Amino acid sequence: MLLAREEYIEQAYFFRAYRERLEDDTPSQEILLALREEILATTSLPMAIDILRGEVLLKGRLSTAMSVLSHYFTPFQTFVLKCSEEDLARFDQRTALMVLEREAQYRTEERYSPAGLFIYQFECLSRNRLGYADGLRAVAADPAYSEDWRTKHALIKAKLKGFINPGQVAWAYDDRDTSLPAEYARAIAAYRDNQVEDSLKRIDALLARAPDNPYFHELKGQMLLEFGRPEDALASYRKALAIEPDAALIRAALGHALIESRYSNPADEQKNMAQAIQELERVLKEEPRYALVHRLLATAYGRLGNTDMAKVYLAEEAILQRKYDYARQQAEGVVNAASPDSKALLKAKDVLSYLEVHEKE
């Protein structure tokens, strides 16, 4: 059940105050008793705290108490706190309370959106290594999300399962499960196991069911590219971008496929290297710290014979990798050889200026 904004304001205060008083070694029962009197009485939180106190007294864990109040606390809130209370947990309870405080605070802000909430929750799961399977299940049960979002959550979970633990896909999805997430996970698992024909057959079946899903087209492109068929991958990446033109990672993959493709004549190669450069430089406007894109641009410029620009992008990649001596070497080579007022010269000077500032820090 979605709560009123006032409830989340009080929740944010509750999680913050609870954390601060834990740091002072105040017992949980005393904290709850005091906060019961501090919370705004017109909200439901004081009644929730009464139940929390009783459950903590009986069972000793706040997360167990929160699970009893599933209509008030979300499954994600309960999951995060539960992870901090496990016997061998490396995830500190104070950190968990800070995560929950900030999440509750975000729900009160004008910039709040389900998309922003999901990014925050997913970042918490990954940064703190709380486990994707159970974590995403808790996220998906949040009442803030529509049914469409729940479907997307299920697909994300399937994708992670297929890529990270392909051997567990058969256990996670029953043979009778023919849902899109189940088939998605199986297609990815087959691809990860280098089952070329089976994986392509499975992704084609998914595309027949959901032809407008850009990420299914992207997956087919990725399969074809890594199976040594970059020319065939181009069509899949282009279809994905036609549906989702703002997807920088798909655009980067298209640039990669253009570079890896084999061309029958120099004119075609030059034309496609120029397109690859156009796509990849567009990606850098959105993802400037994407090191692989710098490497790909260096390759594309090198294929066109523009060694100065190739060196500039190698230097930028080296900065991202903290290889500062190599970055300086590449940039100085451009400064010493490039024509005046060239794009390469200006970018090389920018690299050297950055390195000079970095050395002073």
Write down the CATH number for the domain with range 5-109: 1.20.81
| Total-model pTM | 0.76
The count of other CB atoms within 10 Å of the CB of residue 144 is 17
Query: Residues near 264 by Cβ (< 8 Å), separated by ≥ 6?
Result: none
Whole-angstrom distance, CA of residue 306 vs CA of residue 303: 8
Q: What is the pLDDT of residue 81?
A: 92
Start-to-end CA span in the chain (Å): 50
The count of other CB atoms within 10 Å of the CB of residue 312 is 30
Question: pLDDT tens, 9-20?
Answer: 999 999 999 999
For the chain, give every domain's residue range.
5-109, 306-361
Question: pLDDT tens, 191-243?
Answer: 999 999 999 999 999 999 999 999 999 999 999 999 999 999 999 999 999 99
**Residue 360 scores a pLDDT above 70:** no
Longest alpha-carbon distance in the chain: 79
Which of 5, 14, 8, 16 is closest to 104 using CA atoms?
Answer: 8
Whole-angstrom distance, CA of residue 314 vs CA of residue 331: 9
